């Protein structure tokens, strides 16, 4: 249940359109719902402003579908990552208006039109990085951030990245997804004045060690403002980027060479 849903419920009670017993029934599932194999956290949207997200790997299709359906009863947005086709088939029977994105292995439910806010750029070094990059982009989209995808812009052809300088400069945050040697976040970090979230992927030949080489390269980045999430953790990067975008939205941020500016137009270059 979201903060807006609770607010509407309380306003309805105050207006006399809802009885106290109906309010109690609506809140009965808070803070969590015990399914035996899982405790579904319906209170997370109130605490954090974002709903609980299902990690589909390791769960049976029936478990994924049951959790998804219970969340869908109380939240207009439901997201399940690392979902295989079997899980999707079971979810689809329970929640027909959900959608599956096979490249990212993500199931998304979005009810009601939401105007995307701000701008987060998701840059992927190569086509092989797209499963992780799309997990990031779909997470951002589900939560209401506006996303611009820049794909196949790795350092092997630097001109492909530099051609998108304008959109990079407009972003409130950039997520850089790369495997191999993981150089892309450092390059982007030297070009923009906003946080860069680096996502190492497990793409690469033997010496990449399943993404460890990219992870270490990103952790050792000489570019300021680069932070790193775990290998292949597109969801974690998307979640963090959305929080940054949301904070910037609250401040009415504009990017200029002078730094951060609030709605009042005063420079706020000392803030992060």
Helix (H) or strand (E) holding 165: helix 165-170
Whether residue 153 is found in the same domain as residue 189? yes
C-beta separation of 8 from 17 below 8 A? no
- Domain stop point among 68, 84, 110: 110
Q: Sign of dihedral through CA atoms 160, 165, 170, 173?
A: positive
Whether residue 68 is found in the same domain as residue 182? no
Domain encompassing residue 54: 29-110
Say if 17 falls within a structural domain.
no
Q: Per residue in 94-108, pLDDT tens?
A: 999 999 999 999 999
* Measured distance CA(215)–CA(220) in Å, rounded: 9
Say if 16 falls within a structural domain.
no
DSSP category for residue 114: -
Whether residue 106 is found in the same domain as residue 160? no
- Domain stop point among 55, 88, 110: 110
Other Cβ atoms within 10 Å of 73 Cβ, number: 13
Overall average pLDDT of the 141-147 stretch: 95
Say if 196 falls within a structural domain.
yes
C-beta separation of 114 from 144 below 8 A? yes
Mean of per-residue pLDDT scores for the chain: 87
Q: Per residue in 180-223, pLDDT tens?
A: 999 999 999 999 999 999 999 999 999 999 999 999 999 999 99
* Alpha helix (H) residue ranges in 55-119: 61-74, 85-94
Report how far apart, in Å, the C-alpha atoms of 67 and of each of 3, 39, 63, 71, 200 are: 21, 9, 6, 6, 29
Whose tokens are 């190492």? That residue is 200
Whether residue 243 is found in the same domain as residue 167? yes
Whether residue 126 is found in the same domain as residue 246? yes
- Domain stop point among 73, 89, 110: 110
Number of domains in the chain: 2
């Amino acid at each position: 249940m979201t903060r807006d849903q609770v607010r509407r419920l309380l306003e309805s009670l105050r207006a006399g359109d809802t009885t106290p017993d109906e309010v109690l029934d609506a809140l009965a599932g808070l803070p969590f719902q015990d399914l035996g194999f899982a405790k579904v956290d319906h209170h997370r949207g109130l605490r954090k402003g974002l709903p609980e997200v299902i990690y589909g790997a390791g769960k049976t299709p029936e478990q994924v579908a049951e959790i998804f359906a219970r969340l869908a009863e109380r939240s207009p947005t439901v997201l399940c990552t690392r979902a295989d086709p079997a899980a999707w088939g079971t979810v689809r029977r329970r929640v027909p208006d959900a959608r599956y994105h096979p490249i990212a292995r993500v199931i998304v439910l979005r009810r009601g039109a939401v105007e995307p806010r701000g701008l987060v750029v998701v840059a992927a070094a190569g086509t092989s990085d797209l499963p992780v990059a799309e997990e990031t982009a779909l997470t951002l989209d589900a939560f209401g951030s506006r996303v611009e995808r820049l794909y196949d812009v790795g350092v092997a052809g630097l001109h492909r990245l530099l051609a998108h300088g304008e959109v990079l400069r407009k972003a409130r945050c950039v997520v850089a997804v790369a495997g191999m040697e993981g150089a892309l976040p450092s390059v982007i970090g030297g070009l923009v004045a906003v946080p860069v979230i680096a996502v190492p992927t497990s793409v690469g030949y033997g010496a990449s060690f399943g993404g460890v080489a990219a992870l270490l390269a990103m952790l050792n980045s000489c570019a300021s403002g680069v932070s790193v999430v775990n290998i292949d953790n597109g969801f974690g990067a998307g979640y963090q980027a959305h929080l940054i975008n949301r904070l910037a939205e609250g401040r009415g941020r504009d990017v200029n060479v002078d730094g951060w500016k609030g709605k009042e137009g005063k420079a706020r270059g000392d803030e992060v």
